[in-house]
Structure formats: structure tokens, C-alpha cells
Amino acid sequence: MKTTSPALISGPVGPSLLRMAGPMCVGLLANMLFNLVDTYFVGKLGQQELAAMAFTFPLVFFVTGSSMGMSIGVSSVVSRTIGAGSGEGVKRITFHSLLLGVVLVTGLLAVGYPLLNPILRAMGAGEEMIPLIRSYMIPWACGIVFIVTPMIGNSVIRSTGDTLVPSLVMLVAGGMNVILDPILIFGWGPIPSLGLRGAALATVIAYITVFLVMLSLLRFHYKLLEFHFGGIRCILTSWKEVLEIALPAVFTNQMIPVANGVLTAIVAGYGEAALAAWGVSTRLESLMMSPFFALSTVMAPFVGQNTGAGREDRVREALRFCGKCCIAGSLLIWMGVAGSGSFLSSLFSENPETRSLIELHLWIVPLSYGFFAWKLQYTSAFNAQRHPFYSSATFLGRFFVFMIPLAWTGQHVFGLVGLYTGVALGNVGALLLALLLWQLLQRRTHRRSVL
């Protein structure tokens, strides 16, 4: 199978992006399914088990966020290599990237396992809770290599322009998790009830299946994987190419929960109802933004391939097309959720104050989603063109330059209305920053080409 998808460097820009984004959106929803299903079934065990699982989320996010950053680096390098027409280079990067994932996971386990109990205590877990948390984290950690490497393999396949197969694989994994969770958590026939340990094992087994399928696809279907080390110097060269993009992306991903924690702390000052409404609204946001996250994910291979092929005109056309899609799509979403705010809030709470605050949030913040979504497309373009620090600047600028200061100032003047407005204006400011950085980058690139 060819490693270069002609549609990405010569086909119609808009249809190519939409064709890739559709399956990617399904894949993102499948990823959400893992967390929702685990949380649902663990909740059936009892309040203590559900509380114990809450302590695992930051640790799990640390690993998955790091893996996503790695995937961004791999996608950038592979897509540019494909665009340049180097099939052997793609095979080299693919194998060395998978090897890098295994090395990093091994190092993380070696450092993290002895520190697990102190970390849990620092997070506020009581001594009686730690054994329960470890019953989930230890099996999960033992299978972590099968969680990280499929993410890397997925990014390689997406870099070819194929988003359907990775999404189907993740759907299968999500389906396996749905089936295995109740069996392993509660027991069935000869299988004993494993509780929290069963939830972790269900996830690991599903990802082991994904790992084996992914390796087979890369090796035999896409012809993108050969188990050839090429010497230590060759390996280090590949790792350097990937890490120069991946490390800033990993850092940015780890700062996102920190920023969200600051915003949550500000909201918490308004009481339990405001905090509950904020929690519901932010979860709804992840669902509403999923099409735009999907679009930004496919922008990386599109921009990478066209940059590698010297088609900067198609990159500019793609960003304009995505901008129109983001603004139009977000307006449709806003009209839908603002008009049905009362119904949506009733699904999550019976408290009148909480419901009214959810509705208020849905009237104000989603109006700015188009700006945030368009900004996402620029951050993907920065990474794909080997400018990860520009991407990190837009992500961190959104939170620490615009959103948090504006939300903090707004709530002092207008209360929660001002806070929500500050969040919305933060999304607008993030897009303006991305546009400014993009223009600066284009001018710098143009001056270099002239010289």
C-alpha cells in the first residue's frame, strides 16, 4: 500500500479534510466511552470505590496526556516524511517511535512505582483508601505499554490520511471494554468478582487487542513498519526529530489540567451549586467540541504532507476552510444548546440553582467555541510545520494570558456572569494570538526564502 495519500497533496482541500474528520470524531467519542463506562460500572460498587477511582484520573491523564504529546510529534515527522516521498524514512520513524514509547514507559514505571504511595498521600488519599486505589493502578500500570504504543501507531496511520481504520479499531476496543467491565468487575460464571482490579484489567485487555491489531496493520497492510534498528546513531536521530515536537506538546498537555484547576478553584468560591454546574458544563463542552478536535487532529497530517511536498498554498486554503467550518459549526451548536438549556440541565441536576447556572453557562460560553476551535487548527499547523513552541504559546496564552485573568476580573465585577464572559473572551483572545503568531511565522519564513 502506498504511504502517500494523493488526496492530501492534490485533492480538493475541504472534502479531504471533512472526509478524514468524520471517522476521527467517532474515534474521539470511542475514547470518551472508556472513561464513561468504567465510571458507570465502578459507581455500582459503591461510593468508596468511586472515590478511589477519582484519585486515579490525574495519574491516568498524566500518562495519556504524555502519550498524546508523543503522538503529535510522531504525526508531524511522519506526515512531512510522507509528503517528501520517503517511504523508507517513514518505516524508520515508525519503528523507532514505537521503541521510544516502550523506553519512556519503562522509565516511567521504574520511577513512578516506588513513589506511588507518597504521590497518593500528597493528593489527599487516606491510608484506608490507598490499597483500593492500588488495586486499580497496579494492573493498569502493568499494561501501560499497550496503552501508549497504540496511540503512537494510530498517529502513524492517520498521517497517511486514513482516519477510518484507527477509529474502527478504537470502537472495537471500546466495545470490548463495555463487555469485559461488568464481567470482570462483578464476576460471571467461573470468573470471580475483581472489583476495581477488574475495571483496570478490562481496559488493559482491550488495549492489548488494539496493540496486536495495530502492529499487524502497520506491518502487513500499510507496509509502514519494519523491525530494523539501524544502529544507535540512527535511533537517536529519529528520537530527536520526534521529541523536538513532542516535548513541548507533552508539557502543554500537562499544564491544561493545572489551568483548569485554577478556574475550578475560582468557581468553587461561589458554592456547591456553582461547582456542580461548572462540572456538568465542562463535560458537555468536551462533547460539543469533539467535531472540532477531530478536525484539528486531521489538520496535522494534512499540513505535514503538504508542507513536505512544498504546497504551502494548500495549507493556507485549509486554514481558511477550517475557520469557516468552525465559526458556522459553533453557531449551530450554540443555537442548539442555548435553546435547549432547560432540558439539558434537567438531565444532570434537580437543584434549581444548579440548573439555572448550567443554562447561563450554555448561553454565554458556547458562543465563543468557534474562536477556540479555529485556534486549534492553527496549533495543529504549527506542530505539523515543526514550530511546537508557537503551538504551546497559543495553548498556554489562552489560559494564562486571557482566560484566567479575564474570568477572575469578570467575576469580581459581575459575578458568575462576568466569569463566564471572561472564559468566552479568553477563547477570542486565543484565536487572535494564534493569528498574530501565524502572521509573524509567515513573514519570517518569507524573509528566509528571499535571502
Per-residue pLDDT tens over the stretch 69-94: 888 888 888 888 887 776 788 888 88
More confident residue, 54 or 258: 258
**Res. 34: pLDDT tops 70:** no
| Residue 58 and residue 168 share a domain | yes
| Residue 89 and residue 17 share a domain | yes
DSSP string, 36-51: HHHHHHHHHH-HHHHH
Distances (CA, A) of 86 to 75, 78, 243: 15, 10, 20
Contacts of 319 by beta carbon, 8 Å cutoff, 6+ apart: 377, 378, 381, 438
Residue 317 has a CB neighbour count (10 Å cut-off) of 15
Of 202, 219, 249, the one marking the end of a domain is: 249
146 close to 204: Cβ distance less than 8 angstroms: yes
Q: Rounded CA gap, 130 and 134, in Å?
A: 6
Q: What is the pLDDT of residue 1?
A: 44
Environment class of 281 (CB within 10 Å of its CB; exposed 0-12, middle 13-18, buried 19+): buried
Distances (CA, A) of 196 to 60, 133, 331: 15, 8, 41
Q: Could you give the maximum distance between any two Cα atoms of the chain, in Å?
A: 74
Give per-residue burial for 339-356: e unless 16+ CB within 10 Å, then b: eebeebbeebbeeeebbb
Q: Rounded CA gap, 75 and 159, in Å?
A: 6
Domain assignment present for residue 316? The answer is yes
- The predicted-structure confidence for 215-230, as pLDDT tens digits, reads as follows 999 888 888 888 877 7
| Residue 356 and residue 232 share a domain | no
Quote the strand ranges of 158-280, DSSP E: none
Q: Rounded CA gap, 279 and 264, in Å?
A: 9
Global pTM value: 0.77
- The predicted-structure confidence for 109-143, as pLDDT tens digits, reads as follows 888 888 888 888 876 777 888 888 899 889 988 88
Domain assignment present for residue 8? The answer is no
Q: Rounded CA gap, 42 and 46, in Å?
A: 7
Amino acid identity of residue 395, one-letter, is: F
| Residue 273 and residue 240 share a domain | no
| Residue 243 and residue 286 share a domain | no
Domain assignment present for residue 371? The answer is yes
Domain assignment present for residue 339? The answer is yes
| Residue 57 and residue 129 share a domain | yes
Q: Count of domains in the chain?
A: 2
148 close to 63: Cβ distance less than 8 angstroms: yes
| Residue 244 and residue 370 share a domain | no
| Residue 315 and residue 405 share a domain | yes
- The predicted-structure confidence for 295-341, as pLDDT tens digits, reads as follows 888 888 888 888 888 888 899 999 999 999 999 999 999 999 888 88
- The predicted-structure confidence for 360-417, as pLDDT tens digits, reads as follows 999 999 999 999 999 999 999 998 888 888 999 998 999 999 999 999 999 999 999 9
Q: What is the pLDDT of residue 5?
A: 47
Of 200, 216, 249, the one marking the end of a domain is: 249
Tell me which residue range forms the domain holding 84: 13-249
Q: What is the pLDDT of residue 123?
A: 64
| Residue 280 and residue 239 share a domain | no
- The predicted-structure confidence for 184-240, as pLDDT tens digits, reads as follows 999 988 888 898 899 889 989 998 998 999 899 988 888 888 887 778 888 898 889
Of 185, 214, 249, the one marking the end of a domain is: 249
Domain assignment present for residue 3? The answer is no
| Residue 320 and residue 178 share a domain | no
Domain assignment present for residue 307? The answer is yes
| Residue 342 and residue 299 share a domain | yes
Q: What is the pLDDT of residue 415?
A: 92
| Residue 412 and residue 309 share a domain | yes
224 close to 367: Cβ distance less than 8 angstroms: no
Domain assignment present for residue 205? The answer is yes
